[in-house]
Amino acid sequence: MNTGLQTTCAEQFESVGNGLLVRAPAKINLSLLVAGKRADGFHEIETIMAKVTWYDEILIEPNPKAGLELICEGPQWSPAGAENLVYRAAELLMKSCGRRANIKIALTKNIPAGTGLGSASSDAAATLIGLNKYLGLELPLSRLAELAAQLGSDVAFFLDGPLALCSGKGEKIKKLFQNSNFLALLILADVTVSTERVYANYRPDPALYQRLRKQINGYIEKNRIDLASKMCANMLQTTCFSLLKELAELKAKVESLGIGPVCLSGSGTSMFCLVPDCDRQTATAYSRKLKENVGCKNIIVSNNRW
């Protein structure tokens, strides 16, 4: 990936020969509130998630061999076979429909895993949507959402969008229709951390949760997602930074350049800075500053249309 790469919104589907190309966008958490553990062991969360214009690609084609085959390629590593959510999503969908099809799926992995950008969940959702279209199954979104819930908490968000308030363990989706155009500089640290490790070390703060929740929901009611975003409210940030000191140091370095505030996305290691007035010239200047003074990878993204 080139430092400072600027991305634009691409189409979700594209015909390639006798196959179907499906794009799977990354996401950022414009806010993330985390309460205590539920009875099922998951934490109760409330988060505004937004798809952005950076994509993995999934190509679905007929397989000359019998059965399901998954090929992983691209600049980022991804597990092959049944360990991959793409494979599991395809297998689950066809099993649930009682269908057998000789399908080859090629996953081009551009978005790194373990960075809070939701790449594996997005890949799984794109697989469900893509196979539903490619095989002519005509399953409703509600049925795809039931399957998504079996694959992971964030998968259902990626079935629709592009902006939603997600709650429960992440599977309860309330689509937001406000005009929420933004431009952001994604800052990609060369470190990863598992979601499980971050949540295992998280200590809830009920009073802070309720205070932030009241403020953010007030902004949502007023159709001011932009003001909620500017709060940079991520309750996992302190835990993540305590586990990865170099990430906290990177945030401080970036903000010392006049680029900020810098927000953590999800439970991972990617951070982002919203660019004032969606000004691409400013975004390019921020990116250049990072390259010259810090040297970390970065990419300029905007909100996704779908």
- Transcribe 89-155 into DSSP letters: HHHHHHHHHT----EEEEEE--SPSSSSS-HHHHHHHHHHHHHHHHTT----HHHHHHHHHTT-TTG
Q: What is the pLDDT of residue 5?
A: 73
Domain-embedded: residue 232:
yes
Which residue segment(s) compose the domain that 196 sits in? Answer: 183-302
Catalytic residues: 27, 154
Q: What is the pLDDT of residue 114?
A: 85
Domain-embedded: residue 3:
no
Q: What is the pLDDT of residue 260?
A: 84
Domain-embedded: residue 251:
yes
Kindly state whether residues 246 and 298 are assigned to the same domain: yes
Kindly state whether residues 229 and 135 are assigned to the same domain: no
Q: Which amino acid is at 198?
A: V
Kindly state whether residues 155 and 14 are assigned to the same domain: yes
Domain-embedded: residue 1:
no
Structural domains counted in the chain: 2
Kindly state whether residues 156 and 187 are assigned to the same domain: no
Domain-embedded: residue 2:
no
Q: What is the pLDDT of residue 4?
A: 62
The tens place of each residue's pLDDT in the chain, 306 residues long, gives 445 677 889 999 999 999 999 999 999 999 999 999 999 989 999 999 999 999 999 999 999 999 999 999 999 999 988 899 999 999 999 999 999 899 999 999 999 988 999 999 999 999 999 999 999 999 999 999 999 999 999 999 999 989 999 999 999 999 998 767 999 999 999 888 889 999 999 999 999 999 999 999 999 999 999 999 999 999 999 999 999 999 999 999 999 999 989 999 999 899 999 999 999 999 999 999 999 999 989 999 999 999
**Tokens at residue 247, please?**
């990430």
Kindly state whether residues 196 and 114 are assigned to the same domain: no
Rg (CA), the chain: 19
How far is Cα 216 from Cα 176, in angstroms, rounded to an integer?
A: 13
CATH number, domain of 231, equals 3.30.70.890
Kindly state whether residues 171 and 195 are assigned to the same domain: no
Q: Which of 175, 195, 229 is the last residue of a domain?
A: 175
Q: What is the pLDDT of residue 177?
A: 85
Kindly state whether residues 16 and 143 are assigned to the same domain: yes
CATH number, domain of 135, equals 3.30.230.10
Q: Which of 175, 210, 226 is the last residue of a domain?
A: 175
Kindly state whether residues 94 and 162 are assigned to the same domain: yes
Its sign, for the CA torsion 167, 240, 242, 297, is negative
Kindly state whether residues 190 and 161 are assigned to the same domain: no
Q: What is the pLDDT of residue 178?
A: 74
Q: What is the pLDDT of residue 6?
A: 76
Kindly state whether residues 84 and 27 are assigned to the same domain: yes
Give the count of alpha carbons within 13 A of 84, CB side only.
24
**Tokens at residue 187, please?**
């800052």
Q: What is the pLDDT of residue 3?
A: 58
CA 94 to chain centre: 25
Give the count of alpha carbons within 13 A of 203, CB side only.
3
Q: Which of 118, 150, 175 is the last residue of a domain?
A: 175
CA 103 to chain centre: 26
User: Cβ(25)–Cβ(55) under 8 Å?
Assistant: yes
Burial class (CB in 10 A: 0-12, 13-18, 19+), 115: buried
Kindly state whether residues 32 and 127 are assigned to the same domain: yes
Kindly state whether residues 160 and 197 are assigned to the same domain: no
